[in-house]
Amino acid sequence: MSDPDLLTVQADSVDSSLGWARLGERRWRCTIGAGGAREDKVEGDAATPVGTFPLRRLYFRNDRLVLPAVHLPARPISEHDGWCDDPRSPSYNRLVRIPNAWSHERLWRDDGLYDLLVVVGYNDDPPEGEWGSAIFLHIAREDMSATQGCVAFARSDLLELVPLLTPQTKLRVLGLSAAEVKPSEGEDDMQQFEDFDEKDW
């Protein structure tokens, strides 16, 4: 049985950003960064960091969706909200107010990707070096194309997922893709048994 407090994300293969996210006995299609899943993530590499991370809070566009009942702290996004992605800034990997002198991205977007997002506790306690910033769970593009390092879901799936997240839930991003994981010894033996044909005797 899967851990009910662990949202596990794994890509299908090393050549694909598409994968699956599992929480308990449920799963959803998702997409990760164009740079793959990496343990040595740095700012700007478009990779999704490998590891286990807490989930901090939710931000949402209250002019575009009705947020279901959730357990994580949540607040609406304003037109002046941004997220600093400049490692030189004292506000690196933090929510900032726009306009801002440091490099940042806007949370108030026209394309809908940030209509609902969950902040992942990656490189934020405290932010250090150039290990990357703005790692979120957010809404995917319609074609489920790769992200810049976040984990993205179809809009309806993310709306289904967020009520299940609690302060105890952690995101676990696996470094090995599903195609790279070898079956356990027992599973391998069972596969050999399933492949056995009496004609082989």
What integer is the mean pLDDT of 132-145? 98
Residue 201 lies in a domain: no
pTM of the entire predicted model: 0.89
pLDDT digits (tens, 9 = 90+) for 25-72: 999 999 999 999 999 999 999 999 999 999 999 999 999 999 999 999
Q: Does any domain span residue 146?
A: yes
Label residue 87 by pLDDT band (50, 70, 90).
very high
Number of domains in the chain: 1
DSSP string for 147-184: BSSSEEE-HHHHHHHGGG--TT-EEEE-SS-GGGPPPP
pLDDT of residue 184: 55
CA distances, 201 to each of 78, 189, 197, 198 (Å):
71, 18, 8, 6
Query: H or E element: which one contains 188?
Result: helix 185-195
Which of 194-201's residues contact partners 24+ apart within 8 Å by CB, and which partners? none
Q: Which residue range(s) make up the domain with 179?
A: 6-196
Q: Assess contact for 133 and 88: CB atoms under 8 A.
A: no
Residue 66 lies in a domain: yes
> Whole-angstrom Cα distance, residue 143 to residue 163?
25
What is the CB neighbour count within 10 angstroms for residue 17? 24
**pLDDT score at 195:** 44
Q: Is residue 33 part of a domain?
A: yes
